[in-house]
């Protein structure tokens, strides 16, 4: 059985093809579906009816939805809440996995699907402008503070991934930050070359509080992160791939795929 994946795009999304590719590489059956098609229930490109409940996984990929003109992901969130709130609530109630990458993470946070304190869907955190004041595009090291409940990161204690964002600084009140750590909802932190979580630039590319790079909801099924696992879909994607090849340490697959594989495997049971 190939779990069906909805890669939900809208105007300004630009990482949908890589995300579809990543899911398909690990045994998923991914489709890129425009938000308007889900809203109308009809995909004109495929000439068929389409609905969110046809899918097993929802992926909101990276990009600059609606140009990020009034804040990253904000207009996307307004459309989702206005047109699809009941459908999304039903999707979550059925315990179907959701992943948001970069702009998708911003969407999940501003919608309130993350971190879902006490299971309540309302915005309690945000992702704001990088401390550097500019767009950051670089490879970073990520570590798990301890094994989290997140189904997407099973077996991944650390990983290198690229970032590409201008508003990736995770911000939340101190008591909420502590709660996220206490309840194992902090999935990834930015780390230095020694694998130690850090708030120092450039290892932490945006100044996120407590170096937070990704979080999950209390169920571990909804996951958001700023770095792009879909861009590490082949071994030679890595910035040090040539050196790894010389040393004989080049992996046999792009390690970013492991995140997508975990989501697909969960659906397969």
Of the candidates 57, 243, 262, 257, the one whose C-alpha atom is nearest the C-alpha of residue 161 is 257
d(CA 51, CA 88): 11
Q: Which two tokens stand for residue 125?
A: 């955190």
CA 234, 236, 237: angle at the middle one, nearest 5? Answer: 70
d(CA 205, CA 134): 10
Q: Which two tokens stand for residue 118?
A: 């006490």
Backbone phi, then psi, for 183, in 5-degree steps? Answer: -100, 15
Residues with a catalytic annotation lie at 102, 228, 230
d(CA 5, CA 7): 6
Q: Which residues contact 226 (CB under 8 A, 6 or more apart)?
A: 102, 105, 127, 163, 165, 168, 170, 206, 208, 213, 214
């Amino acid at each position: 059985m190939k779990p069906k994946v909805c890669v939900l795009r809208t105007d300004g999304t630009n990482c949908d093809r890589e995300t579809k590719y990543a899911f398909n590489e690990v045994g998923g059956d991914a489709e890129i579906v425009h938000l308007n098609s889900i809203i109308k229930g009809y995909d004109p490109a495929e000439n068929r009816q389409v609905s969110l409940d046809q899918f097993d996984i929802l992926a909101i990929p990276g990009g600059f939805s609606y140009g990020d003109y009034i804040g990253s992901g904000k207009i996307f969130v307004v459309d989702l809440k206005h047109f699809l709130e009941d459908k999304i609530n039903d999707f979550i109630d059925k315990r179907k996995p959701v992943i948001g990458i970069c702009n998708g993470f911003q969407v999940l946070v501003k919608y309130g699907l993350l971190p879902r304190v006490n299971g309540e869907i309302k915005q309690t955190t945000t992702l704001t402008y990088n401390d550097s004041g500019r767009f950051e595009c670089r490879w970073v090291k990520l570590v798990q503070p301890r094994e989290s409940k997140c189904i997407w990161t099973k077996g991944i204690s650390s990983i290198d991934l690229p970032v590409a964002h201008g508003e990736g600084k995770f911000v939340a009140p101190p008591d909420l930050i502590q709660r996220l750590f206490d309840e194992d909802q902090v999935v990834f932190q930015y780390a230095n070359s020694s694998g130690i979580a850090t708030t120092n630039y450039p290892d932490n590319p945006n100044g996120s509080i407590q170096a937070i790079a990704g979080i999950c909801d209390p169920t571990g099924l909804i996951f958001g992160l700023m770095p792009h696992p879909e861009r590490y879909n082949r071994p030679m994607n890595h910035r040090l791939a040539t050196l790894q090849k010389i040393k004989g340490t080049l992996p046999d697959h792009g390690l970013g795929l492991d995140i997508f594989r975990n989501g697909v495997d969960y659906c397969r049971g």
